[in-house]
Amino acid sequence: MGYGYNCGTSLSDNRSGVPVLDPWGESSVVDYGRLFEEFGIEPIERFADKFPATHRLLRRGVWFGCRDLGRVLDAARSGSIYAVMSGIKPTGVYHLGTKTTAEAMVFFQGLSKAARVFYSIADVEAYCDNGLKFSESHEIAVGNVADILALGLDPERAYVYKQSEEMRVMNLASVFSRSVTNNMMRAIYGDRAFGLYFSALVQAGDILLPQLGFFGGPKPVIVPVGVDQDPHIRLTRDLARRYRDEFGFIEPSSIYHKLVHSLTGSEKMSKRDPMGVLTLNEDPKLVRRKISNALTGGRATVEEQRRLGGEPDKCVVYEYYRDHFLEDDERLLRIRSECLGGQRLCGECKAELADLVVDYIEKHNEKKASMMDLARNLLEEGSRIAKQGGSIL
């Protein structure tokens, strides 16, 4: 199938609607169906009846695609060992995109007592991509770990570590470097600083780490990520095939969530856009101000809204109800119906969402505050395990 990731295409030139998946920059997906055709991602619907439990992200189409998901679902149903692996670049606080990934990790951990989470603090990537000092990223990482604990991660079945300390990851990256060329990495990621190419190999090491002998050997691994991270998954699956004879690697599975639109309507929420991003530690007044200025699917005038109804499928406010802050399916259906029928106006809809968000953030941060000591302990324990040795055999 080749490596046609289109990461080198700028969004301003992307008039054809070709998907642009860039794990370090702006991504653009107009038609998610094209990802099935262009990159071989499998539609999640093929596996919907195999899930032993349901989730808001599954019911509402936020999880839309996957690779080899059946392998992990079979393991969950049979009680076989599998790993849940993802990570975070410690450059700031959780936003809705990182929250969505964390929710998926917690969900897949909860499907079976035999599941173990591997959570990588991607401080090497933060250094290569953002120039963030390791001492600074450590303090941010403590808060990030407390966030995922507050979202429900079971710490008894989780290995939380920093890339810079886990030498097995670094050694895998060094081994993998033998099998990649500059042209191959350019085809995948476009023209980048060499440090970013190496950080991609480090992430491949993260993803395949759970299959090393120290952690019990080859096993199914599920990697929940935003679809903009698919280039890393494609690269890692290729490397797993190349090194199967030597390490026994099983190609990692993945599940993808849709890009989270920013409040201003751009295609991917990013920490680089302060007024478009909604974080989990926002001040209530700032939450209300950001949401009051959010892009909606409303009409130009109240009269038109009453007569024609709104367009919820074009509305970031409705997206946030559906994908992030409203568990009640019946209430969501009522909001959609009222919008389409013209009974609901954008101002009141924004105010209602703001109330939900403020309440959610307040409760989340109460939980997070109670998890800070545990987060530090998990990172210390991760450092201890990471320093036990660097053997990848």
The structural domains of the chain, with segments of one domain joined by +, span 23-263
The answer to whether 100 touches 323, Cβ cutoff 8 Å, is yes
CA atoms lying within 13 Å on the CB side of residue 184: 15
How far apart CA 71 and CA 254 sit, in angstroms, is: 10
> In one letter, which amino acid is 159?
Y
Among the listed residues 12, 204, 211, the one whose alpha carbon sits nearest the alpha carbon of residue 122: 204
How far apart CA 187 and CA 143 sit, in angstroms, is: 35
Which residues, 6+ apart, have CB-to-CB distance to 370 below 8 Å?
150
Q: Does domain 23-263 have CATH number 3.90.740.10?
A: no
How far apart CA 41 and CA 51 sit, in angstroms, is: 18
Q: What is the pLDDT of residue 16?
A: 56
Angle between helices 134-150 and 96-110 (to 10 degrees): 60
Q: What is the pLDDT of residue 7?
A: 47
DSSP β-bridge partners for residue 225: 256
Total Cβ atoms within 10 A of residue 288: 18
Q: Which tokens belong to 212? A: 């090393």
DSSP β-bridge partners for residue 120: 87, 161
> In one letter, which amino acid is 18?
V
Q: Which tokens belong to 142? A: 């403590």
Residue carrying structure tokens 């929710």: 103
How far apart CA 127 and CA 140 sit, in angstroms, is: 13
SS3 string, 116-148, reads EEEEEECHHHHHHHHCCCHHHHHHHHHHHHHHH
Q: What is the pLDDT of residue 1?
A: 33
> In one letter, which amino acid is 359?
D
Q: Which tokens belong to 72? A: 């992990």
Is the pTM here over 0.85, yes or no? yes
Among the listed residues 200, 209, 166, 163, the one whose alpha carbon sits nearest the alpha carbon of residue 390: 166
DSSP 312-328: GGG-HHHHHIIIII---
- The torsion defined by the Cα of 261, 274, 362 and 227, in degrees rounded to 10, comes to 30
Q: What is the pLDDT of residue 272?
A: 67
Q: What is the pLDDT of residue 303?
A: 92
How far apart CA 119 and CA 196 sit, in angstroms, is: 20
How far apart CA 114 and CA 180 sit, in angstroms, is: 34
- Return the H-helix or E-strand segment holding 121: strand 115-121
Binned average pLDDT, 10 residues per bin, the chain of 393 residues: 40 57 78 88 94 94 97 97 97 93 98 98 90 93 98 98 95 96 92 89 97 97 96 97 98 96 76 83 96 91 92 95 96 97 96 98 98 98 89 73
Q: Where are the beta strands (DSSP E) in 148-200?
A: 158-162
How far apart CA 199 and CA 125 sit, in angstroms, is: 5
311: Cα separation from own chain's centroid: 27
How far apart CA 146 and CA 78 sit, in angstroms, is: 31
The answer to whether 14 touches 34, Cβ cutoff 8 Å, is no
The answer to whether 342 touches 306, Cβ cutoff 8 Å, is yes
The answer to whether 180 touches 360, Cβ cutoff 8 Å, is no
The answer to whether 276 touches 266, Cβ cutoff 8 Å, is yes
Give me the count of residues in the chain: 393
How far apart CA 124 and CA 132 sit, in angstroms, is: 9
